[in-house]
Amino acid sequence: MLSVMPPVKTARTEPRRGRPRSEQSRQAILRAVSELVLDRDLSEISMDAVAERAGASKATIYRWWTSKELLVLDALRNEWDTAVPEVTDTGSLSGDLRAVIVPWTRELATKPYGHVIASLIVRAQVDPLFAREYRTHFVGPRRKPARSAFRRAIERGEITRDTDVEAAVDLLYGPFYHRLLHTHAAVTDRFARAILEYVVAAVSASDRAVG
């Protein structure tokens, strides 16, 4: 939770002097951002507006978040972070990938944060520090279970050992992010099923092709 914050609170030896940080303020600010971000472009959200809606002062916001993007990142994590479950072994690659993708696409459908993610991606491409933060908290946790699923499939013998796992993960996530960001078509359940089927077929086929 606190890991996005600047000094990363290391070592609690000294007894913490001064007035402690207001948890109420912190929550109010994150909530304000989450709400404002829903119907607006990130660039259309002013820190003044966040401060006013949160009943906080701008100084307080800047004290704890060094940029609007980090603030939004934190707000999104605050909204979502319960939803990164460790994937259980369902016994098949198809089942494992479904268990990863379906809850995520459902979540995406619920809250229209597509444009927010796009904004964060922009920032990540320009600011390396932010990029690291973004990947650590957003991309990494998504890719890991997918990677595990492919690895388990290799262990099981479902797919060949020489499967390019990283490419496979991109093959899986790419199409969803593509629609999410380009909005040329919706991320429906039907689409999810199609992509899952394709991906499983793709990595399995090379098996057959080889064999």
Sign of the four-CA dihedral 109, 113, 115, 118: negative
What part of residues 152-171 is at the interface with its own copies (CB under 8 A)?
164, 166-168, 170-171
Residue 178 touches which of its own copies, DNA, none (Cβ within 5-8 Å per kind):
its own copies
Window contacting DNA (CB under 7 A); options: 39-47, 78-86, 168-176, 192-200: 39-47
The type of residue at 115 is H
Query: Position of tokens 């100084």?
Result: 59
Q: Does 90 bind DNA (CB under 7 A)?
A: no
Q: Which two tokens stand for residue 119?
A: 């904004």
Q: Which two tokens stand for residue 55?
A: 């009943």
Q: Which two tokens stand for residue 109?
A: 């459908």
Instruction: Give the residue from 28, 25, 30 showing the smallest Cα distance to 1.
Output: 30
Given 30, 32, 37, 68, the residue binding DNA (CB under 7 A): 68
Q: Does 17 bind DNA (CB under 7 A)?
A: yes
The type of residue at 174 is G
DSSP state of 138: I
The contact set with its own copies (CB under 8 A) reads 40-44, 114-115, 118-119, 121-126, 131, 135, 139, 143, 164, 166-168, 170-171, 173-179, 181-185, 191, 194-195, 197-199, 201-206, 208-209
The contact set with DNA (CB under 7 A) reads 15-22, 25-26, 28, 45-49, 54-60, 62-64, 67-68
